[in-house]
Amino acid sequence: MTKQPNILTDSFGRQHTYLRISLTELCNLRCTYCMPAEGIQLSPKSHIMSFDEVYQIAKTFVDHGVTKIRLTGGEPLVRKDIGVVLKKLASLSVELSMTTNAVIVDRYIDVLKECNIKNINVSLDSLVPKKFEKITRRNNYQQVLDNIHLLIQEGFNVKLNAVLIKGFNDNEIIDFINLGKELPINIRFIEFMPFDGNKWDKQKMVSYAEIMELVNATFSESQVQRLQDAPNDTSKNYKIEGYKGSFAIISSVTNPFCDSCNRIRLTANGRIKNCLFSASESDLLTPLRKGKDIKPIIKKAVQAKFKTRGGMDTSEKFEKPELHGKNRSMIAIGG
């Protein structure tokens, strides 16, 4: 008898063991690359997963091989029942982590520790207060910086996610790397990616090659150490000799890592996105509420996953605005 493939294995043999769950579409910042200036049409509150629904769907994924769950938003910590959500998910046999903007993370140190959350990704796109205010449309720079230091002091593994935009923060690349001289922190530079409403322009993108050209012009060849990437890693990792921290580059545009992708996303309104760039979604919440089995829906969604970037397998396709417009804004997908 032929063994049936796991429902989380796609048609290219990729096993999906990493689930990213967006807990809310709300955020206390308004980052320009994430949210259009005019805002977005939010899902009605009744369409957002309850804490028990988050748990039920997550458990289904864990039962079929997911070993890591990352909680995102919007900003996950603005969700009023975040403590309940964390404790429910912490009861699963899974590694739990979170991406946050760190504005209010100081209020949740104890519950994060209680739920054994050790890995925290913080979104921070500038080390200049005025630039921070410009890109986030908010004035919380000092709070974020203080909370990053607090997380490190409290023993969390901290990664900083910086989306690079040419002419805006690309002159801060070395400043970011130098944060790691005294801090045990991983700086991750992310190529500017296209989403609905973020006015993506390839000319604004700072590529992997450009970042490394600057790094190699600043540090000697012997100082720049290439690190071993983890299995299924989205980033190329480096370290400057003698620094406590490290840096990495996530090159989704110029060097996609689709061949080893093990990720699947669940939006706050209970829909699967089998790829960050996929325009199609599969509703799990409605059938779950009707008492139906969601496993066949998950299997079908995973099987429909394209080999590369939601079907945008050439740079020409990737640069077509009409294809980006079919996808959600980043805030509604989950970071």
Q: Find which of 243-252, 270-279, 287-296, 300-309 is predicted with most confidence, using mean pLDDT.
A: 287-296
> In the predicted model, is pLDDT for residue 257 greater than 80?
no
Report residue 137's pLDDT band, with 50, 70 and 90 as the boundaries.
Answer: confident
Helix ranges (H only) for the chain are 51-63, 82-90, 109-114, 129-136, 141-153, 173-179, 208-218, 285-289, 295-303, 315-318, 321-324, 330-333
Q: Find which of 73-77, 257-261, 306-310 is predicted with most confidence, using mean pLDDT.
A: 73-77
User: Which domains, ranges and CATH numbers included, belong to the chain?
Assistant: 18-333 (3.20.20.70)
- What's the pTM? 0.89
Report residue 280's pLDDT band, with 50, 70 and 90 as the boundaries.
Answer: confident
Torsion angle of alpha carbons 63, 61, 25, 274, nearest 10°? 170
Percent of the chain whose predicted confidence (pLDDT) is above 90: 71
**Cβ contact 271:285 at 8 Å:** yes
- For the ranges 54-58, 88-92, 155-159, 166-170, the lowest mean pLDDT is seen at 166-170
Pairing of strands 185-191, 68-72: unpaired
DSSP-derived letter for residue 228 is: P
> In the predicted model, is pLDDT for residue 271 greater than 60?
yes
Express each pLDDT in 211-230 by its tens digit: 999 999 999 999 999 999 98
**Is the preceding peptide bond at 74 cis, omega within 30 degrees of 0?**
yes
| Average pLDDT score, the chain | 89
Express each pLDDT in 28-73 by its tens digit: 887 776 666 666 678 899 999 999 999 999 999 999 999 999 999 9
